[in-house]
Amino acid sequence: MDNKTIYLDNAATTCVYGDVAQKMAKAMTEDYFNPSALYPQAVDIAVELRKIREHIKSAMHAPDGELYFTSGGTEANNTALFCTRKPKGSRIIIGLGEHDSIFVSANELKAQGYDVVFAPIRSDGTVDIDEFKKLLTNKVSFVSIMHASNETGGINDVALLVKLTKKVAPDAVFHSDGVQAFGKINVNLRALGVDLYSVSAHKLHGPKGIGALYVKNGTSVKPLLFGGGQEKGMRSGTENYPSIVGFDCAVQRAVFDEFDENYSKISKYREYLSQQLKNKIDDVVIITDIEKSVPNVLTVAFKDVRGEVLLHSLEKHGILVGIGSACSSHHESRFKGLLGLDTAHKDGIIRFSMSDGNSIDEVDTVVEAIKQELFVLTKFKRV
Ligand code: PLP
């Protein structure tokens, strides 16, 4: 990325920090031994892997369970959905705003004969608790509600949702997709009470293609891949040690070393962006509830313009933003109808997502560019 690019799509992915990349390079070129081999160099890698697993678990306050490395959030979510034991025909509750790796998978389970129901969301993208309660019966075997929304940054009250679920269906397995939450807010799995939790490294300045599924002790999960028995038999295949090292280094920075500093810096940028948009742009709707969301996401709706059109018109200023989930255009269209926006704003959604690499000056530049582009796009109706 050149110096002039202003990158505000960090919920889609983040740049890998330089020291993360360096540690990965060393793992590839020097510490390349297969941890299943028997000589001391390989045993050292196996020992290091065990330490990393404990380290990442401690970053989630998750002492009483296992962490299985996966190829990312999508695989962790698919494993949660497809590899847990559920009586045929039992009820599965999924949040309507879930990422496609849950939503599309849930539709597959529906096709297999499960009673899949979707919990409606509120205008900030979080699950409507009263509506959720109405879906609970003692036939519920599985629930998946994301910790933070990739569309709005809204944080679900997962602890409450777990409590409500277990009261009615004590044996139900509760999964939460923590991909947008881990590293952004304090994640305490013991306090949340979830059985399964998914994370992904590339949302917190780690490499792409690596993530993990946390499984609380006592939760029955079948293996996804069979073979050499790695990951305690859950996911065979030689461990992706370089990426795991990168993930670990990114977690160390995001959760332990720089959490407070980044949280206040990024919240300040977001607060400033929100204020400036409200002050300088007519009729902007702020969708993200700043009080109840991860600090890095601000989703807004502009009037009488299509989000995609504005997104592309900002590219010539070197500004890169999102229109919600980068993963699927189907998902984007599904989501925007759920927020209760009026017709003039419904298509004008833009998601800004920041990182510690942004600045207040960049926010000023972005707001100025939006003002200019909206003037052209809306005054001359080139929408
Ligand atoms: N879950 C959420 C909430 C996401 O935002 C994403 C990525 O955008 C994923 C899951 C998928 O993660 P990965 O890209 O690591 O497969």
pLDDT tens digit string along 109-147? Answer: 999 999 999 999 999 999 999 999 999 999 999 999 999
- Residue holding tokens 């962790």? 76
Q: Is the pLDDT of residue 287 over 60?
A: yes
Give the nearest ligand 1 atom to 211 CA: 15
- Higher-pLDDT residue of 262 and 334 is 262
Structure token digits, residue 89: 């025909």
DSSP symbol at 350: E
Residues 7-31 pLDDT 10s: 999 999 999 999 999 999 999 999 9
Mean pLDDT of 229-254: 97
pLDDT attached to residue 379: 75
At 185, the amino acid letter reads: I
Dump pLDDT digits (tens) for 66-115.
Answer: 999 999 999 999 999 999 999 999 999 999 999 999 999 999 999 999 99
> Phi, psi at residue 235, to the nearest 5°?
-150, 90
Asked if 13 and 208 touch (Cβ cutoff 8 Å), the reply is: yes
Residue position matching structure tokens 């970053």: 59
Cα–Cα distance between 373 and 305 in angstroms, integer?
Answer: 10
User: Cα-flanking dihedrals φ and ψ of residue 106, to 5°?
Assistant: -65, -35
- How close is the Cα of 73 to the center of ligand 1, in Å? 5
pLDDT of residue 80: 98
83 catalytic? Reply is no
The reply to whether ligand 1 has any atom less than 6 angstroms from the CB of 72 is: yes
**Cα of 368 from ligand 1 centre, angstroms:** 31
Task: Determine if ligand 1 sits within 6 Å of the CB of residue 296.
Answer: no
Amino acid at 20: V
Position 378 confidence tier, pLDDT thresholds 50, 70, 90: confident
Does the CB atom of residue 178 touch ligand 1 within 6 A? no
**Which stretches of 153-258 are DSSP H helices?**
158-168, 189-192, 241-251
Round to whole Å and give the CA distance between 226 and 232.
11
Instruction: List pLDDT tens digits, range 27-58.
Output: 999 999 999 999 999 999 999 999 999 999 99
CA–CA gap between residue 376 and residue 382 (Å, rounded): 8
Say how many C-beta atoms besides its own lie within 10 A of residue 48's C-beta. 17
CB distance 230 to ligand 1 below 6 Å:
no
| Whole-angstrom distance, CA of residue 289 vs CA of residue 297 | 10
Q: Report CA(106)–ligand 1 centroid distance (Å).
A: 15
Order across the sheet with 285-286: list the strands: 285-286, 297-301, 349-353
Beta strands in the chain (DSSP E): 6-7, 65-70, 91-95, 115-119, 140-144, 173-177, 196-200, 211-216, 285-286, 297-301, 319-320, 349-353
Q: Could you give the C-alpha distances from 75 to 72, 177, 236, in angstroms and in order?
A: 6, 11, 13
* Helix residue ranges per DSSP H, 146-236: 158-168, 189-192
Nearest CA to ligand 1 atom 14: 73
pLDDT of residue 325: 60
Is the pLDDT at 331 greater than 60, yes or no? Answer: no
Question: Mean pLDDT over residues 270-294, rounded?
Answer: 97
DSSP tag of 232: G
Residue 326 has pLDDT above 90, yes or no: no
